[in-house]
Structure 1
Amino acid sequence: MGLQIALSTARNALLATSTQIAVASRNVAGAGDAGYARKIATLVTGNGTAQVIVTRAGDAALFTRKLAATSDEAASAARLDGLKNLSQTVGDTGDATSPAARLGALNAALQAAANQPASSDLARTAVEAARALAESLNDAAAAVKAVRADADAAIKQSVSTVNDLLAQFDAVNFAVVTGTANGRDITDSLDDRDRILTKLAAEIGITTLTRPDGGMAIYTDGGAALYERGARTVAFDPNAAPPGNAVTVDGVAVTGATTAMPLHSGRIAGLTALRDGPAVEYGRQLDAIASALVAAFAETDPTTTPASTVPGLFTGASAAGVRVAARVDPQQGGAVSRLRDGGIYSDDTVVNTTGAAGYAARLTILTGNLAAARTIGTGTDISGAATLAGFAAASAGWLSQQRKDVAADAEYQATLLSRATDALSNVAGVNGDDETALTLQLERSYTASAKILTVVDDLLKTLMDAVR
């Protein structure tokens, strides 16, 4: 009976130690994987048997914090990328191609033409400066449009990614539930589930709820259900007119100013905030500059009662559509002398009726109009009384400040994510040296158990020989 007990004990010890060594080897192999959590092999004894229970190191609160930090960092990064694109394309007051710089060049050209009204070369230079200003506004408006289109494309891609991740999560979550019910080792499945949640959090802000059966439900940080015993459909149509171009979960909008459950973080939230916030606001400011330009260079049509104001040097109702009038633009067959004489809109708006070469009154008025303070940008963040150059400089400064603020927030969120990741790694990560040392210790234990088996085997042989 004693030899049987010794044999059973040694055998159980071998099996248990073998399992512990296998777990330690898994840990060593997963040491370089950021999504791998250290496995803990706990030996449980009772009723003459030994069993190894495999659990996983971790901290639910730290993991939740990491998910939130991942979402916040992704949102800030998405906004910053878009603002950088706007700034790089449009420029600022120090950039010779910016609207503010082009306004300065036009003002200088008009003053030179007013000082020598008979010079067709100076008039041509002024018209060319006006064309360059219009083109810079066109380019800026195109940049705004491109940033918003890129944001829509990125949102569409993120929505597709979210749906793919939810499908993957469904399969892994099922493995966790069934494994829990059957008493299997589910630690690798839990790792896979956490990897998916981390990727999902980068796209869309989430919260999670673990159920008694080991399964998990996922909600957006605004409260909409993304996964409840099955994945919900996330959709986005970039071609729908606002506010229809919202991201929806099961048909319920989770982006947009009027939604009851808005997203607060994640790449989708950042892209939406960029598309519907700074990009739209900067576009309004550019439109305000274009509208003020048209007004500053307008002509008076005396043929109407009362006399009406009509477009002069500039035409168009927006930054994207502002142009130099064809009748004054030599590239379109126009005459630069109309800048001095009037008659850009039509022959009825001519003010230098005698065609005097030294007539400077109209050019002086245009210079004064360009430098005059006026109410600009009603409905924008920088509305008020300002000169055109002052408003353009304020607009460039506004964009620069937006980028600066978002850059500071992005840096802060990246730091938080790094610290949250490090904190979780300290708790759940693998130290390769420790695991190697543990493996050596377990191997010695395995060797000792094997020696016991050898001794018992020898004793049994001796006993059998004695019986014979």
Structure 2
Amino acid sequence: MSLTAAMKTAQSSFSNVGLQSAVVSKNIANASDPAYARRAAVLATATSGATVVETQRAQNEALLKQNLLSISKASAQDTVLAGLSRMKMMLGGEDYELAPSTYLAKLRDNLQTFADKPNEVSLAETVVADAIDVATSLNSTSEALQKLRSEADADIDTAVKDLNRLLKEFKTYNDQVRQGTAAGTDVNDALDQRDKLLTQISGLVGVTTVNRTNNDLALYTSDGTVLFETEARTVSFVPTTTYTATVTGNQVLIDGVPVQMGAAGNTSARGTIAGLLQIRDHAAPTFQAQLDETARSLINMFSEDTVGGAMDGLFIRNGVAVGDDLTVGTVVPGLSTVIKVNPAVITNQGGNAKLLRDGINETFNIDDHASFSVLLNKYAAAFETPVTFDPAAAIDTNASLLAFSSGSVGWLEQLRSAATTAADDKNALLARTQEALQSVTSVSLDEELALLLDLEQSYKASAKLVAAVDEMITALLQAAG
């Protein structure tokens, strides 16, 4: 090897060590950033030994796509579980002590006691108080459900705004990647930011990616709707400020195509938006229908068969259209919000609790017998009599009121239990996927420090080579005089 070749080799080595050290230093500086993918300086053989030809970014497309899918599934599942847990808390939590079924069972028991001792006014007052508890439970649960729907609607609006913002940012970095790749410049930082945005987008809506020329990415939703293709597609939503049982929320549109809500406890939803739609448009309305059917059955059960026809009894409706026929097995939306106890039997409102025994609209106990219990026995028996319920309530269509109200609690608990199990499974899968991806892309400080030691040895070797060349040139000059 000539002295000139040796010097060029040493210079090339110094240059390589400098570039490699810069890459390692950047890796170490970003070791705590989960969005940063490890870089590696790639060497290739050259006439002067070796040279750095590119800086490669650690990546695994298959794991990245699986991670995006896991994020969207876990986000949707967590959203659905949170909504169902809120619904459970409306009923009092683990023991469901605030559920209408709990108050109905108490009403039935005390009504039977009153029927056995119809002459005791205190028992009449107790039954009326129990009836008020039932109506209050239906009212408050119904109002809480509509509040939940309203909050879900507001969360959807926030999520849509975030999604539009993320798509605009995605375009910025995608353009940098596409243009940089075509020009042959380093686009690794832009790739990091683009992948970070992808994970955030997948948390809001299910995403699939298609890699095109010059590393350009096109994004599609899990059902095939175009989300981003050179330009971001518009995601639109008009929020609804006030919800009642008769109000239907607006759809979320991506490029004019509605986003489909999820279904079941182990939801099919992908992303937070679809999960929120499931709570707002399916879970809460279905439970609302169950409450409304309970209210309808209660009003019918305690109505009085008078000479002039059926009349309102212990329970009445307030604010529902007069034309509604509550005897037909069809949901009357919002009935549970307006059901209340007839003031005619509420003492502090000028009523008389004994009218429940004797008749509210006309006197059935004509001779004022203290032992008259015909009406009370009829009401008590009605709790166990099967009636027809609307299939829209998603539980038994022919059952007693107590069985139906208990079935409503069972429906919610079954749904929530399935959602809990699915959330555990999907979050565990997400954790494993992220761990696998990070094992490929994340920075290991031990590896980087070991590489620094290797680079130090390489630098020392090059320095010795330069020193040897210097000594040889010096000796040569001295010999030449």
Give the TM-score normalised by structure 2.
Answer: 0.89
Partner in structure 1 of residue 272 of structure 2:
267
- The 5 A counterparts of 1:362-381 are 362-381=375-394
How many residue pairs align between the two structures? Answer: 455
Show the counterpart of 2:202: 201
Following the alignment from structure 1 to structure 2, what is the Cα–Cα distance between the partners of residues 466 and 332? 125
Quick check: 1:168 aligned with 2:172?
Answer: no
Aligned to 1:19: 19
When structure 1 is superposed on structure 2, of 44-53 and 99-108 the one drifting more is 44-53
Q: Which amino acid aligns with 2:140?
A: D
Per the alignment, do residues 243 and 278 of structure 1 end up closer, same or farther by CA in structure 2, a change over 3 Å counting? closer
Please state if 1:72 is matched with 2:73. Answer: yes
Question: What is the aligned partner in structure 2 of residue 333 from structure 1?
Answer: 350
1:23-422 paired onto structure 2 within 5 Å: 23-48=23-48, 50-91=51-92, 94-239=95-240, 245-255=250-260, 264-303=269-308, 308-316=309-317, 318-343=335-360, 346=361, 349-422=362-435
Answer whether contact 1:79 1:274 (CA < 8 A) is retained.
yes
Aligned equivalent of 1:443: 456
Describe the shift of the 1:351–1:388 C-alpha distance in structure 2 as closer, same or farther (beyond 3 A): same
What do the CA deviations read for 1:377-434 (whole angstroms, capped 9, x no partner)?
4432212322211111111111100000111111111111111111112222222211
Contact 1:93/1:393 (8 A) holds in 2: no
Distance 1:21 1:135 in 2: 71
The aligned residue for residue 7 of structure 1 is 7
Q: What SS does structure 2 have at the residue aligned with 1:74? A: helix
Question: 1 CA distance for matches of 2:137 and 2:443?
Answer: 56
Distance in 1 between residues matched to 2:24 and 2:68, nearest whole Å: 28
Contact 1:158-1:268 within 8 A present in 2 as well? yes
How far apart, CA to CA, are the structure 2 residues paired with 1:132 and 1:63?
A: 54
Q: Which amino acid aligns with 2:187?
A: I
Residues of 2 paired with 1:314 and 1:243: CA distance?
28
Task: Kindly state the Cα deviation for residue 302 of structure 1 after the two structures are TM-superposed.
Answer: 2.1
- Secondary structure of the residue that 1:400 maps to in structure 2? helix
Cα–Cα, structure 1 residues 274 and 436, in superposed 2: closer, same or farther, change >3 Å? same
Question: Shift of residue 105 of structure 1?
Answer: 1.0
Residue identity (%): 35
Given the superposition, is the C-alpha separation of residues 80 and 314 from structure 1 closer, same or farther in structure 2, using an over 3 Å criterion?
same
Name the SS of the counterpart of 1:45 in structure 2. strand
Aligned to 1:426, which of 421, 439, 454?
Answer: 439
The amino acid of 1:289's aligned partner reads T
For residues 333-392 of structure 1, the C-alpha deviation after alignment (integer angstroms, 9 at most, x for no partner) is 22212111112xx4xx33223433332222121112223222234432212322211111
CA distance in 1, matches of 2:286, 2:20: 61
Residue 63 of structure 1 deviates from its aligned partner by 0.7
Q: In the aligned structure 2, how far is the partner of 1:408 from the partner of 1:181?
A: 47
Cα distance in 1 for partners of 2:451, 2:397 equals 72
1:260 is matched with which residue? none
1:189 shift after superposition: 1.7
CA distance in 1 between counterparts of 2:407 and 2:122 reads 32
Specify whether residues 281 and 183 from structure 1 end up closer, same or farther in structure 2 by C-alpha distance, changes over 3 A only.
same
Paired residues of 2:249 and 2:281 also in contact (CA < 8 A): no
Deviation at 1:324, TM superposition (A): 0.5
Contact (CA 8 Å) 1:222, 1:264: kept in 2 or not?
Answer: no
Secondary structure at the counterpart of residue 320 of structure 1:
helix
Equivalent-residue separation in structure 2 for 1:359 and 1:235 (angstroms): 64
2:286–2:392: 8 Å Cα contact kept in structure 1?
no
The CA deviation string for residues 129-170 of structure 1, in whole angstroms up to 9 with x for no partner, is 000011111122122212222221221111111112112211
Would you say the 8 A contact 1:246–1:256 is kept in 2?
no
Q: Could you say what secondary structure the match of 1:379 adopts?
A: helix
- 3-state SS, counterpart of residue 58 of structure 1: coil
Instruction: Give the SS at the match of 2:40.
Output: strand
Q: Which runs of 5+ in 1 are unaligned?
A: 258-262
Q: Aligned equivalents of 1:25 and 1:16: distance in 2? A: 14
Q: How far does the alpha carbon of each residue in 1:244-291 deviate from its partner, in whole angstroms, 9 at most, with x for none? A: 61111133222369xxxxx94111111112222222211111111111
Q: Distance in 1 between matches of 2:12 and 2:287?
A: 73
**CA separation of 1:436/1:430 partners in 2, compared to 1, >3 Å: closer, same or farther?**
same
For residues 59 and 467 of structure 1, the distance between their equivalents in structure 2, rounded to whole angstroms, comes to 60
Q: How far does residue 46 in structure 1 lie from its aligned partner after superposition?
A: 2.9
Counterpart contact for 1:370–1:388, Cα < 8 Å: yes
What's the TM-score, normalizing by structure 1?
A: 0.91
Of 191-200 and 354-363, deviating more is 354-363
**SS of match in other structure, 1:371:** coil
Distance 2:10 2:380 in 1: 101
- Match for residue 323 of structure 2? none
Amino acid corresponding to residue 292 of structure 1 in structure 2: S
**Residues of 1 paired with 2:11 and 2:52: CA distance?**
12
